[in-house]
Amino acid sequence: MSKANQSTALPKSVRRYGPLAVLGLVAVWTLVPLFWMFLSSLKIRRSMFEFPPTIIFEPTLRYYQDMFLGANPVTPFLTNSVIVALGTAVLSVGLGTIGGYGLSRLDLRGKKPLAFWIISTRMAPIVVVVIPLFYIYNALNLLNTHIGLIIAHTTFNLPFAIWLMRSFFDEVPVALEEAALIDGATKWQAFRKVSLPLVLPGMGATAIIAIVFSWNDFIFALIFTNNATQTMPVAASQLVTQTGTLWGQVMATGVVILLPMVTFGVIVKRYLVSGLTMGAVKQ
Amino acid sequence: MAQIALNHVTKEYSGADIVAVDDVSLEIDDGEFLVLVGPSGCGKSTTLRTVAGLETATEGDVSIGSTRVNGLEPRDRDVAMVFQNYALYPHMNVRHNIGFGLRLATDMSKGEIEDRVEEAAGLLEITDLLDQKPKALSGGQQQRVALGRAIVREPQAFLFDEPLSNLDARLRKQMRTEIARIQEQLDVTSIYVTHDQEEAMTMGDRIAVMNDGKLQQVGRPNEVYNDPANRFVAGFIGSPSMNMLESEVAESDGNAELQSAEDGALTYALSAEMTDEYALTPGDRVTIGARPEDVRVAVSPDAFDSQSHETTVDVVEPLGSDNLLYLSLGETTWTARVPPSFEPSTGESAYLSFPPEALHLFDERGETLKSRDLTDPLTTSRVTAAGTD
Amino acid sequence: MPEHRLRRREFVQSTGLAAGIAATAGCLSGGGGGGGGGGANASQPPGDDVEAASSIQFISESTPPTKALQSITDRFTGETGIEVEYTLSPLLNYTEKLANDLSSEAGNFDACYVDPYNIGAPYFTDLEPLNAYIDDSGYDYEDHIEVHRIACSEYEGDGTIRGLPYDCPTMLLAYRGDVLDEYGDQATSDLGFEAEPNPDMTWSQYMEVAKWINENVPDDMVEYGTGHMAKQHQSLANEFEMIQWAFGGTQLEGFDGKDPILPDDVSAGFTDDASVEAAEFYQGLVSDVAHPGSTTWDWTGVAQAFANGQIAMAPEWHEFNGLFADPESSEVADSVRWTLAPSGPAESRNVQAHYGGSSIGINAHITDAKKKAAWMFIEWATSEAIQTELLKQAGGTPTRTSVYERDEVKEASEQSTAESPMPNVVPPILEGWDLDNIGQRPHHPDWLQLEQVIYTEQSKMVNGNQSPADTMQACEDGFSTTL
Amino acid sequence: MVEHQHTTEISGVPTDAYVGEEPDDMEESILESLPISFEMVLLAPSIITLAVLSIIPLVVMISLSFMEVSFTPIEEQIFVGVENYVDMTNDGNFWDAWKATAVYVGGSLSLQLGLGILISVMLHRVIVGENVFTSIVIMPMMIAPVVVGLLWQFMLDPTFGLYTYLMNQIGLFIDQPILGDPNSAMAAVILMDTWQWTPLIVLIILARLKSIPQHLYEAAQVDGATGFTQFRYVTLPLLKPAIAIALLLRSMDLMRYFAKVFITTGGGPSNTTKIIGLYLYEQALRFFNLGYGSAAGLVLLAVTVLMGLAFVETIMGGAGDDE
């Protein structure tokens, strides 16, 4: 209902179909590489390099077979990626939620610099900090462990999680918590039983973004893991071999990396946008 | 039920050098309905929140019943509060909103809670809304739920923080009666904060007027209306506001009179009794005040046996039962409430008059020298800002 | 030895707060990965009383031989009971991981692939000296062809062996037999010299043939005469180095592409006339003659273009022959041929191949038990039987003389790519490894960085943003800064 | 709720100078007695985590930036004062990297922001299909940049790339590979990043759009605002915080990450796409120039922080320190 109200001076047909046309173009721009990736993952190597490119060909599933049933199946790497991404999401959203709440409700003169410091910890160049972290990790026996990688990914997810969660909590009226305090809640209960349920969609959105960043990380995963704990991006990079890029496997890997995220994304997309919105809470 | 006492309560915000509440002392009797009224920013809400435990007093003590509650968390104070925006929990239905406090803070069984919730809902006539989410309710219904959440706890005190300001005028009047009814029925000590003096007048057993963090006066509504402690209270309580004029005591022909400071638009002769009683000497600066209903207006000065003053009619505002006249008196505008039959046209000149009995006088500091003289003088208890001085 | 370890510890301690935490945690957790002697020159294999560890970590660049090795490692595990876990990455990523591990002495990787330039030269002190291991076990080290022993086993000039030769991609010249068969005679008569690439061809002749093919061979057979790995990438440096040596130029004063062990103080080269000439030649070749895609290709791009039939000739690592030979991936399986790269105008030396080999070694910072197991593994992996096996799987390029003396190998080396069961034995490989023909990079710890100067400046040159003379000057400046 | 945004007892424990009727101090709650507030207690784990994981590396970076670290023949660190910084100012490649970064970050940010706003407004406007389109639009950010880089390299290859083919059809890039020319290579890496990360901006802005109360639009319409004016004077100002967060997030990642550039152009041709992140990666991780790399890293950090501050201050008017 809200959309139709935003009348403009443009003719009705433009108003109605203009956005669709723009989005159609965007969808094409977005999908062409993905579609090409998918097609190429079904082509035997030679037909991948045909010029002009072909759309009709005899598909093969060998790269997928190779990935899952071959000598070096990617399943463990996929599992690693999932474990690390979920672990990171839990840790960043967990800490980010209570931290974001604290930051939102904090009444302190230095709040602004503190908030900026928090986000600025995400700005450090990974390629440099990874070296001292490597020493620390080595000393703490965190190398080649899932938890080590989860902690590393938390470094770049937590600051953003705190900021996002803080913005959600900012939207929750303080009076709700006060009402709870008067109703007999402790501060923790007011947070836990009143504010927290209200930012659940926000937590979902934050988790998804954390998962995306963790899922995509390369440098930490490269330096801090060995074969047993490496993640999909690192596994994908190995397809660039000394004697040529294994394009078929690269494309199939792309599809395999994308699919779970898209499925997941479609399921939780509602949270993603409405979670980032939070308009409903404010009265 | 309990008595609530504030003893020299001060609240400062350390960061901002703001004194929100300045040395307020106040006692609310068991079962009494006290309205805390004042303009926005006067510290009334902070005072209420100090009682609730949402703010901590910088100095002074708050006690509820026999307990000094300064260090206590809100949950340990056994009070209930109704917020301006109702503060209903959006993710809970009405039943859970009302029952939340009971579930949290008591060890009542589910059934007991349910009974209490039903009972409260019945009292508020919202039984059929119990399974709705707050979002689905109208403003008035939400307000009732907020009330329900307060009464179901059977607390020692109700605290209302401008609960009606988000409602439209009709609903506000209705809810005003409703709240008053429930409070009376339950007989729970209540503090009610509002910026609306009409609400204060109609609802409170007593009214406490605050300004600038300081308590100005506490008294029964009529008392505060008829015998305001100072210029601020006089101007704040009553609608339209009391007419006021700066003046100076002068002497003319051996008789004292008040001359309006600015332009001599008004001179008001004083009787000797008055100068004596209020120790007025020439040169004293006093403020004249007169309530609109005490100002009489006529087209000719002959209508009055006492002194009259010439003015021009600016605006005529018919209210139905009365007409409000806005009259230019020098550079100030005075308001008069006159019978509906009297309806001069704009720009016409008219004469106003007010009897000495109706006269209010305030000294240079704004303290009341004289209030209007009613046939049945009431005992007043004045509390001034400085407390005892 | 103790002094050395102390210095290492100082490094960690000097990292301030981190050190406090790291050291504390290190103590609590029982001392991390360190163990063994580590880093000294004396080779001390674990004694007989040491039991070999039951599992080891092996890190390698993701190469065909390592992948092939991985697929047959269960045999090793079957024989010895030692599990081997593989960590494979592309060259640079493997370098980053291993460099971190070696320099921090974390000891996460036991056996490691040693790229002589990326890892060997800068971190050889972190690799276990193997001389005594070889002596004790009777390992036939001398069977490895001399060039490999020089190029990727030794770094100090005192005979300390830090790795066992393992694999050796070598840059040679690949060309399309079908194109030359069909048009070779015509080209030969047009140009006045033998147009089919052969060891006697010079670089300027090569350019002429390429031009001739551009102009005379129809596009549906092949579009361009030559293609190059001129992307801003290590590949560009490798290709240019080979040409520079062939022209008689040099990257470092006194270094001729033959002896990798450098004197203590070296200074930058490049500004000699031969280098400038090589640069001018290379710019002409890439900008004017070669397939325009050349400036975006590294060795993989060139190989792909060659396999797709887009170019007739290209200098390329011979290991790509496996790709060319695969009819599913390649249009040219029947027609690819190899020969030595063209020779240059230089009289003083001859470079017609570029060395790209590597060894495998043992991390010095691991326990004796791990060392023992790692030794068993690298001994096995570089043995004649396994090298032959890797060759058969189209994975590796053996470095042992004895492998090439096997009949089946000899036979395969004489067959054309399409029919050969072992495409990694391209006919001229042994010739290329002849010390008279090979060119190799020096063992300089900063070589990676120096090479970057070359390909960065060269990239500017081949894209027409910088003249060859300026480019050589820029390379000299860049080298001087780094040195 | 006009005058009471302050809800905490940060302003201190009451002095209790006046002794009340029946003092009952026994029940001071534990939280109240702590020297820090409840909010701080909640914030503390995050602050400690971030401090450990960011301050320690930072201290190491700062100390290393005054050192020269070498590993061969033995590891040692020599204090060299500000030499690394002096070297940096004299390093042409360092400045070239910053020039490339300015183009890359500036181009990517403006393109992504422009597209991001356009797409999100369209998504907000469209009457049917919002869900489908949103799901499609956000896909690229779900793929690891390593794979995205390879995919685009594949699409842009001069001999078999689909995009090369399409370009050739309109007569472009026939003799000049897309990644072989400095301008088109830069354009390509910017487009690649735009392809992948515009979705993030779309998400952030779309969310904000949805939370703008309808009555604001209605008010604007009453005031006669239509189409663009309404967008310009009502929507855009309200989007500012979201835009600032999006810019902040994207700018810091554009500065730090380089995987796609690394894979497709490797910084070339002629160093024209050697962005600072890639330059730093080479110095620190590839060449292991820990001293110099740390110094350059600190400069990068400083620039990123300043950029971030600029976005936060100018657009958002403070670090979201509302009301």
In a domain, D205, yes or no: yes
Contact across the interface for C232 and D75, Cβ inside 8 Å:
no
**Range of weakest confidence among B373-387, C153-167, C376-390:** B373-387
Report the DSSP beta bridge partners of residue B298.
B351
Q: Which residue of D55, D158, D267 is in closest CB contact with C293?
A: D158
Domain B4-235: CATH class, spelled out? alpha beta
Q: Which domain holds residue C337?
A: 170-355+427-482
User: Residues of A with CB below 8 A from B88's CB?
Assistant: 179
Convert the pLDDT of each residue in A41-78 to its tens digit: 998 877 888 777 888 888 889 889 888 887 778 899 99
pLDDT over threshold 50, residue D29? no
Contact status of C310 with chain D (Cβ, < 8 Å):
yes
Structure tokens at A196: 């927290």
Burial of C400 (0-12, 13-18, 19+ CB in 10 A): buried
Strand ordering across the sheet containing B296-298: B296-298, B349-353, B309-318, B323-329, B332-338
Same domain, C343 and C370: no
Convert the pLDDT of each residue in C222-280 to its tens digit: 999 999 999 989 999 999 999 999 999 889 988 888 888 888 788 898 989 999 999 99
User: Residues of D with CB below 8 A from B46's CB?
Assistant: 3-4
Same domain, C297 and C244: yes
Q: Which residue of C has its CA nearest to A248?
A: C329
Contact across the interface for A184 and B53, Cβ inside 8 Å:
no
Interface test with A, best of D4, D38, D40, D42 (most A CBs within 10 A): D42
Contact status of C459 with chain D (Cβ, < 8 Å):
yes
* Rounded Cα distance, C197 and C191, in Å: 13
Q: Which residue of D has its CA nearest to C453?
A: D93
Contact across the interface for A178 and B90, Cβ inside 8 Å:
no
In a domain, C311, yes or no: yes
In a domain, D302, yes or no: yes
The last residue of a domain, from among A12, A39, A63? A63
Q: Which residue has the higher pLDDT, A97 or D212?
A: A97
Convert the pLDDT of each residue in C420-455 to its tens digit: 778 777 778 888 999 989 999 999 988 888 998 999
Average pLDDT over residues D171-184: 87
What pLDDT score does C251 carry? 92
Contact status of A6 with chain C (Cβ, < 8 Å):
no
Contact across the interface for B8 and D18, Cβ inside 8 Å:
yes
Average pLDDT over residues C176-205: 93
In a domain, D31, yes or no: no
Same domain, A56 and A81: no
CATH number at residue D282: 1.10.3720.10
In a domain, A155, yes or no: yes
Contact across the interface for B46 and D32, Cβ inside 8 Å:
no
In a domain, A254, yes or no: yes
Percentage of residues in chain B with pLDDT exceeding 70? Answer: 94
Contact across the interface for A243 and C320, Cβ inside 8 Å:
yes
pLDDT over threshold 90, residue D13? no
Residues 55-94 of A with CB under 8 A from D: none
Same domain, C298 and C197: yes
Residues 63-122 of B with CB under 8 A from A: 73-75, 79-81, 83-91, 100-101, 104-106
Q: Which domain holds residue A238?
A: 66-277
User: Residues of A with CB below 8 A from C109's CB?
Assistant: 226
Same domain, C451 and C364: no
The last residue of a domain, from among A14, A39, A63? A63
Same domain, A159 and A46: no
Same domain, C175 and C137: no
Q: What is the ipTM of this complex?
A: 0.80
What pLDDT score does A270 carry? 66
Contact across the interface for A257 and D147, Cβ inside 8 Å:
yes
Contact across the interface for C320 and A244, Cβ inside 8 Å:
yes
Listed by start position, the domains of chain B span 4-235, 241-370
Q: Domains in chain A: how many in total?
A: 2
Phi-psi region of D182 (alpha: psi -120 to 50; beta: other; left: phi over 0): alpha
Indicate the pLDDT class of residue A10, thresholds 50, 70 and 90.
Answer: low
What pLDDT score does B381 carry? 39
Contact status of C91 with chain A (Cβ, < 8 Å):
yes
Same domain, C223 and C350: yes
* Coil/strand/helix, residue B363: coil
In a domain, D98, yes or no: yes
Q: Which residue has the higher pLDDT, A36 or C418?
A: A36
Convert the pLDDT of each residue in B216-249 to its tens digit: 999 999 999 999 999 999 999 988 899 998 888 8
DSSP state, residue C310: -
Contact across the interface for B63 and D17, Cβ inside 8 Å:
no
In a domain, A238, yes or no: yes
User: Residues of B with CB below 8 A from D12's CB?
Assistant: 14, 56, 58
Domain B241-370: CATH class, spelled out? mainly beta
Same domain, C364 and C339: no
In a domain, D286, yes or no: yes
In a domain, D199, yes or no: yes
Contact status of B69 with chain D (Cβ, < 8 Å):
yes
Q: Which residue has the tokens 């929990």?
A: B89
* Residues D24-61: b if buried by 16+ CB within 10 A, e if exposed: beeeeeeebeeeebbbbebbeebbebbebbbebbbebb
What pLDDT score does C202 carry? 93
* Rounded Cα distance, C172 and C331, in Å: 20
In this structure, the strands spanning C55-61 and C111-114 are parallel
User: Residues of B with CB below 8 A from A178's CB?
Assistant: 52, 54, 74, 81, 83, 87
Residues 68-87 of C with CB under 8 A from A: 70-71, 85-87
pLDDT over threshold 70, residue B260? yes
In a domain, C3, yes or no: no
Same domain, C333 and C343: yes
pLDDT over threshold 60, residue B388? no
User: Residues of D with CB below 8 A from C329's CB?
Assistant: none
What pLDDT score does C98 carry? 92
In a domain, D71, yes or no: no
In a domain, C79, yes or no: yes
Contact across the interface for A155 and D50, Cβ inside 8 Å:
yes
Q: Domains in chain D: how many in total?
A: 1
**Range of weakest confidence among A205-214, C50-59, C241-250, D235-244:** D235-244
Which helix (H) or strand (E) element contains residue B37? Answer: strand B33-37
Q: Do chains C and A touch (3 or more CB pairs under 8 A)?
A: yes
Same domain, A110 and A130: yes
User: Residues of A with CB below 8 A from D146's CB?
Assistant: 218, 233, 236-237
Average pLDDT over residues B319-334: 87
Which helix (H) or strand (E) element contains residue C381? Answer: helix C368-381
Same domain, A119 and A26: no
Residues sharing a CB contact under 8 Å with residue B64, sequence separation 6 or more, in sequence order:
B2, B3, B4, B51, B77, B78, B79, B156, B157
Q: Which residue of D18, D24, D28 is in closest CB contact with B60?
A: D18
In a domain, C288, yes or no: yes
User: Residues of C with CB below 8 A from A244's CB?
Assistant: 300, 303-304, 320, 323
Distances (CA, A) of C472 to B83, B108, C342, C458, D94: 79, 89, 22, 9, 20
Q: Domains in chain C: how many in total?
A: 2
What pLDDT score does B357 carry? 84
The CB density around residue B188, as the number of other CB atoms within 10 Å, is: 23
In a domain, C89, yes or no: yes
Interface test with C, best of D66, D262, D288 (most C CBs within 10 A): D288
Contact across the interface for A280 and B90, Cβ inside 8 Å:
yes
* Residues B26-50: b if buried by 16+ CB within 10 A, e if exposed: bebeebbbbbbbbeebbbbbbbbbb
CATH number at residue C269: 3.40.190.10
* Rounded Cα distance, B50 and B363, in Å: 33
What pLDDT score does B304 carry? 78
Burial of B289 (0-12, 13-18, 19+ CB in 10 A): buried
Contact across the interface for C29 and A141, Cβ inside 8 Å:
yes
pLDDT over threshold 60, residue A283? no
Pick from B42, B348, B334: which is nearest to B195 by CA?
B42
User: Residues of A with CB below 8 A from B159's CB?
Assistant: 182
The CB density around residue D191, as the number of other CB atoms within 10 Å, is: 18
Give the amino acid at D232: R
User: Residues of D with CB below 8 A from B70's CB?
Assistant: 14, 16, 20, 25
Same domain, C305 and C342: yes
Same domain, C309 and C434: yes
Contact across the interface for A222 and C93, Cβ inside 8 Å:
yes
Average pLDDT over residues C306-312: 92
Contact status of C59 with chain A (Cβ, < 8 Å):
yes
Contact across the interface for A98 and D122, Cβ inside 8 Å:
no
Average pLDDT over residues B77-88: 89
Q: Which residue has the higher pLDDT, C22 or A229?
A: A229
In a domain, A245, yes or no: yes
Same domain, C323 and C252: yes
pLDDT over threshold 90, residue D180? no
Q: Which domain holds residue D191?
A: 85-316
User: Residues of A with CB below 8 A from C57's CB?
Assistant: 226-227
Contact across the interface for A178 and B153, Cβ inside 8 Å:
no
Which helix (H) or strand (E) element contains residue C104? Answer: helix C91-104
Q: Are C358 and C94 in contact (CB under 8 A)?
A: no
Average pLDDT for chain D: 80
In a domain, A282, yes or no: no
In a domain, A283, yes or no: no
DSSP state, residue C285: I
User: Residues of A with CB below 8 A from D140's CB?
Assistant: 30, 33-34
Contact across the interface for D4 and B46, Cβ inside 8 Å:
yes
